[in-house]
Amino acid sequence: MDVFSPLGWRDGVLHLLDQRRLPTEERWIECRDEAAVAEAIRDMTVRGAPAIGCTAAFGVALAALRAAESGAGGPELRRRVGAAADLLAAARPTAVNLFWALAEMRRPVADDPGHAAEELAARAVGIWRDDIARCVAIGRAGAALVPDGATILTHCNAGALATGGYGTALGVVRGAVEAKKRVRVLADETRPFLQGARLTAWELHRDGIEVLLIADGAAAWMMARGEVTCVVVGADRIAMNGDVANKIGTYGVALAAHEHGLPFYVAAPLSTFDPNCAHGGLIPIEERDPDEVRRIAGIAIAPAGVGALNPAFDVTPAKLVSAIITERGVVRPPFASLRNLLTDEGS
């Protein structure tokens, strides 16, 4: 399969597929400075932890390019790069890939503005390409866990749209297909932003992979009927004990899978692991606009004046996770080896 990406970088301009408009309209927007990139992350034009990280890296590169065009070098260029990184870090709090990518972009660069801008642009491209390579490796590692004829349940969208390309959870699906295994996917709709209905179904259908959309509330019943072989989801942050933050509703899916004796797999690159987070209780959970719950596509679905809560993520305890699929292989409980994986990655 060709590796589709929701990002494009051409002539110093970042192009993003506007995921708010899918599946009805495939529209690309242009970002020419870090402010536009930060807004694209905040309003979910781009979403998914790895894709957010890649996008933020290009945001820093854009700040450096604009600084170089004005002749700023040395301390002034570093100040502007740091300010851009701070702006982007505030865009969304839960996805740790954002902070990982920004840390990479904050590493020292040349004093000469032209060379510094080129170096940071190359660094962002490297982060993007590296993410795609990691996703392909995750897909190959995870494919071994998928039996021929499997029905895979997934939640939210952890596919090409959520990454630099190829995907994590859907990378496992693609890896299984490339291994000539017959698979089909049950995609939870994933309220309130409907990433499963709008995005997962769109990209799998685009690739010719069988996908059936189900309501979030149907997942447990599909398991009870024997129509699910395993669950594969992505992650926005993974703590060192194996607790996993992912899109709201993931915890409920994990509980149902545990009750029915089904494997619950998490697919994520090592950039999603937070070495400073001992357990899931320390992961910040983003609270989004309640109107995302009260409305769908701008149409009210609740009485006027009713309150709403909109946590964007939940935390699945490590005890419910059968394995974590990384680019370095499959890690099974107990997850004491996670820190060693990160240490090896950084060495």
pLDDT tens digit sequence for 272-310: 999 999 999 999 999 999 999 999 988 999 999 999 999
Q: Are strands 244-247 and 295-296 parallel, antiparallel or unpaired?
A: unpaired
pLDDT at residue 1, rounded to an integer: 47
Task: Express each pLDDT in 20-51 by its tens digit.
Answer: 999 999 999 999 999 999 999 999 999 988 99
Phi, psi values for residue 22, rounded to 5°: -75, 150
Nearest Cα to Cα of residue 58 among 30, 78, 96: 30
Nearest Cα to Cα of residue 166 among 129, 196, 197: 129
Q: Are strands 323-326 and 264-267 parallel, antiparallel or unpaired?
A: parallel
Task: Express each pLDDT in 62-115 by its tens digit.
Answer: 999 998 888 777 788 888 999 999 999 999 887 788 999 999 999 887 777 788
In angstroms, rounded to a whole number, what is the distance separating the alpha carbons of residues 282 and 204?
Answer: 34
Q: Is 8 exposed, middle or buried (0-12, 13-18, 19+ CB in 10 A)?
A: middle
Task: Express each pLDDT in 320-339 by its tens digit.
Answer: 999 999 999 999 999 988 88
- Which residues are annotated as catalytic? 236
pLDDT at residue 113, rounded to an integer: 76
Nearest Cα to Cα of residue 339 among 270, 281, 284: 270
Nearby residues of 94 by Cβ (< 8 Å), 6 or more positions away: 236, 237, 245, 283, 284, 285, 286, 312, 313
